[in-house]
Amino acid sequence: MQRVISAGGVVFRRKGKDIQVLMIKDSYGKNAFPKGHVERGETVEQTALRETAEEVNLEKLKVVRKIGTNNFWFTQGGERIHKTVHYFLMESEDAAAEPSPQWEIDKCFWVRLEEFPKIEIYKNLGSVVKKAVKFLYEIKAGMGK
């Protein structure tokens, strides 16, 4: 059995009085978040920033907080693999920046915070979405002050 550790980001931006969340469509045609493998010497937070920036071509990202860990199993080449993905809430500090898909990502798109929980996504990301929504509504409430 092999163990793999990855990290990624749930990216948001402030657009006027709204918050938008970045989604990707992966190579399987599913909505998800950018993520990738931890490299030697990196923390999971450093990996999340690097991989997110590389995969969606955004430069000015800032980690706000860790929002969860996702664990799952899959089979590759006949071998069972246990994967742990650490997710961080990140803000795009450039509200005008537009992501562009890189690597194995087919599409990047922004969704309004109100629509974010309704997006069809991998079931095992439900707790990550729930925590992100909670924190993003707290941030939005603070924007009105």
Domains of the chain from N-terminus onward: 2-143 (3.90.79.10)
Q: Mean pLDDT per 10-residue run, the chain (145 residues)?
A: 92 93 92 94 96 92 95 88 95 87 85 95 92 95 76
Handedness of CA 64, 66, 72, 78 (dihedral sign): positive
State the Cα–Cα distance between residues 60 and 93, nearest whole angstrom.
5
Q: What is the enclosing helix (H) or strand (E) of 47? A: helix 44-56
> What does pTM read for this prediction?
0.92
